[in-house]
Amino acid sequence: MAGGALLVAIMLISSVSVIGRGLSQLFGGRLSGIPGDVEIVQLGCAVAVFAFLPLCQLKRANVLVGAFTKNLPVRYRAMFDLTANLLFLVLAFLVAWQLGRGTAEKFSNHDTTMVLRIPEGWPFAVALAFAWLLVFVTAYTVVRSVMEIGTNRAIGPPPSGEH
C-alpha cells in the first residue's frame, strides 16, 4: 500500500510539473513546473520499488520461469522454489547490507539532492527498512518451500503462472 500511494503521489507531482511547463510555454512563462521534480521522482521510485518487493516475494509474484515446472508435482516444484528462494535470500541480504552501508554514508556525509537539497539519507533509510523486510519475507519463503517439500502440498498463494 505504501508503494502504491507513493507511486500515485509521484505520478501527480510529475503530471503537475509537466502540465505547468506546458502552460508556461503557452502563457509566456508565468507558470512553471515543479522545481526538483526529477529528484522527487527518482527518490520516490527507488523507495516504491523496495516497498513492493516483500509483498511480491510473499505472493510468489516475482519473475519465475514456470513454463517447465508448472505441471510438476508440488514437491518437485517446491524444490525449484527452494533453490530460487535460497539464492534470492542471499541476494536480498547482500542488498540490504550494502544499502545499510550506503545509508550510513549518506547520513555521515550529509548528502543532499542538487535542486531541493533533500537529505538523501532519509529515503535511503526507508528503502533500507523495506530491504530488511524483504530479507525476513524471503527467509519465510525458504521455510515455506521446505514445508511444501515435506508435506507435498502448496502453502500460501499458488505458484506463478497459476494465478
pLDDT per position as a tens digit, 35-70: 888 999 999 999 999 999 999 999 888 766 666 777
Residue 157 CA neighbour count, 13 Å, CB half = 14
* DSSP states of 71-136: TS-HHHHHHHHHHHHHHHHHHHHHHHHHHHHHHHHHHHHT-B-SSS--BTHHHHHHHHHHHHHHHH
CA-angle at 34, arms to 33 and 35, nearest 5°: 110
- Return the DSSP state at 158: P
**Distance between CA atoms of residues 59 and 156, nearest Å:** 8
Which pTM was predicted?
A: 0.85
pLDDT of residue 156: 81
Angle at 74 (CA atoms; ends 73, 78), nearest 5 degrees = 125
pLDDT at residue number 159: 63
d(CA 45, CA 29): 29
Tell me: the pLDDT tens digits for 7-31? Answer: 999 999 999 888 888 877 777 766 6
Is residue 28 helix, strand or coil? coil
Distance CA 67, CA 63 (A): 12
